[in-house]
């Protein structure tokens, strides 16, 4: 879907779209034909800041899921993180750029120079940028190199109310300056698309919404007793948990305060935070002060499975483009409570696929979780409806098909044919 109004494309009298003729079916199996020459592939470079869970996971699925016969895909970004090895194992070319950091730094000019040299040397047809720093440096480098096609994905806004006014103004200005350097824009949710248009980060009618996919095949479709056993909590104990980096954005201290409030009415409830981060020590200290036990598991590679062992999944984020862990929890049919920020209300419809609460309001979050615990039948129905919604729209194949269509459209290539089952017929 697109945020904005587009003029309809001209069509043929029979109602089909005008354009290049559809491909003809082969007349013999490929193994029986003389070998075909190798055709040149479209070189794509993804530029991302931190190549890790969240936007990094989305980018990895996009890079690894494109047709390898048509595309040669590279990823460049900040060194470090386990996704680099996964990308290489999937056949994606990787470049960890020395000096590339998450925050603005004097060395950014050197990073820009390294990106320019990489783009000029490899002569990429498409540069696809992600996140604030990667989006700015990647678009500037692509512009300096006159890259034919530049695409930017908004996984969320790079600025938010919790920044200082000067920093927020700077980030907004950088986004606006580089909007003219991109030919296409993607957003992970409709409200994210709306925000970027309202903030004049992209032109009206030019933002295409592409749901941020997750590996659905790796996620249980219902409560998983094995996941509960791995978390070490008996099945008879209600377990409320979250998944994500333990940092300011996720507001883990609000989760602890929520947990303390829940214990007042549901004393047998257990709480778990799956993840790690700079606020882990403060979480443990606040939990001790409030007399509530919150288990921190640290980072877990099986987090997408462990979420299926929860009775209620909660995110207390202050800002969130969409929330990859939230999507995984819904895929596992978990009842969810989530803060109504950015793109989250597009996925969590209050009373239908979960409950929404204001950010920085542990009391409201505690009441919402308590309602789900007191109404298990309604909670289970919300979980099932959330799972159906995610599994219908957030498959990697759907996201990669949309990205492929974006590239094809900007390059003037015909749309990929679809097989009878709906999959791309390449």
217 vs 88: CA distance, rounded Å: 21
Instruction: Tell me the Ramachandran region of residue 178: left when phi exceeds 0, alpha when psi lies from -120 to 50, beta otherwise.
Output: alpha
Tens-binned pLDDT, residue by residue, of the chain (426 aa): 444 433 444 444 444 456 778 888 889 998 899 998 888 999 999 999 889 877 888 999 999 999 999 999 999 999 987 899 999 999 999 999 999 987 777 889 999 999 999 999 999 999 999 988 899 999 999 999 999 999 999 998 888 788 788 888 888 998 999 999 999 999 999 999 999 999 999 999 999 999 999 999 889 999 999 999 999 999 999 999 999 999 999 999 999 999 999 999 999 999 999 999 999 999 999 999 999 999 999 999 899 899 999 999 999 999 998 888 999 999 999 999 999 999 999 999 999 999 999 999 999 999 999 999 999 999 999 999 999 999 999 999 999 999 999 999 999 998 876 544 444 554
pLDDT at res. 418: 52
88 vs 53: CA distance, rounded Å: 16
Identify which of 352, 426, 406, 344 has the alpha carbon closest to the alpha carbon of residue 156. Answer: 344
Query: Sign of torsion, CA 347 351 352 353?
Result: positive
pLDDT at res. 417: 60
H-helix or E-strand spanning residue 417: strand 417-418
Query: Sign of torsion, CA 181 183 188 193?
Result: positive
DSSP codes, 109-162: HHHHHHHHHHHHHHT-SEEEEESHHHHHHHHHHHHHTT-SEEEEEESS-S--TT
Find residue 130's DSSP bridge partners: 153
């Amino acid at each position: 879907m697109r945020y904005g109004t587009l003029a309809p494309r001209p069509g043929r009298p029979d109602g089909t779209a005008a354009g290049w003729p559809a491909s003809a079916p082969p007349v013999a199996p490929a193994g029986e034909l003389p070998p075909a020459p190798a055709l040149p592939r479209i070189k794509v470079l993804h530029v991302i800041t931190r190549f890790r869970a969240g936007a990094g996971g989305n980018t990895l699925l996009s890079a690894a899921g494109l047709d390898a016969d048509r595309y040669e895909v590279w990823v460049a970004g900040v060194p470090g993180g386990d996704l680099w090895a996964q990308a290489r194992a999937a056949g994606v070319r990787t470049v960890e750029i020395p000096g590339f950091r998450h925050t603005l730094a004097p060395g950014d000019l050197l990073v820009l120079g390294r990106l320019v040299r990489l783009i000029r040397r490899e002569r990429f047809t498409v540069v696809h940028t992600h996140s604030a720093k990667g989006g700015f440096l990647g678009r500037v480098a692509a512009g300096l190199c006159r890259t034919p096609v530049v695409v930017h994905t908004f996984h969320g806004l790079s600025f938010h109310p919790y920044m200082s006014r000067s920093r927020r103004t700077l980030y907004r200005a950088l986004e606006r300056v580089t909007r003219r350097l991109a030919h296409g824009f993607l957003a992970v949710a409709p409200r994210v698309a709306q925000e970027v248009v309202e903030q004049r980060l992209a032109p009206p009618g030019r933002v295409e919404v592409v749901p941020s996919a997750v590996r659905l095949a790796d996620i249980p479709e219902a409560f998983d007793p094995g996941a509960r056993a791995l978390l070490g909590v008996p099945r008879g104990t209600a377990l409320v948990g979250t998944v994500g980096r333990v940092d300011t954005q996720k507001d883990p201290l609000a989760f602890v305060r929520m947990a303390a409030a829940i214990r007042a009415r549901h004393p047998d409830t257990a709480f778990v935070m799956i993840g790690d981060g700079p606020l882990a020590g403060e979480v443990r200290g606040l939990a001790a002060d409030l007399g509530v036990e919150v288990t921190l598991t640290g980072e877990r590679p099986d987090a997408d499975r462990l979420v299926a062992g929860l009775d209620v999944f909660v995110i207390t984020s202050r800002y969130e483009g969409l929330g990859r862990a939230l999507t995984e929890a819904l895929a596992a049919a978990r009842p969810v409570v989530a803060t109504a920020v950015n793109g989250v209300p597009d996925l969590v419809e209050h009373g239908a696929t979960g409950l929404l609460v204001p950010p920085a309001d542990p009391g409201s979050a505690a009441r919402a979780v308590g309602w789900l615990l007191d109404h298990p039948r309604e909670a289970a129905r919300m979980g099932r409806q959330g799972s159906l919604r995610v599994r219908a729209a957030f498959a990697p194949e759907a996201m990669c098909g949309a990205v492929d269509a974006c590239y094809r459209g900007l390059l003037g290539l015909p749309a990929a044919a679809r097989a009878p089952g709906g999959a791309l017929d390449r």
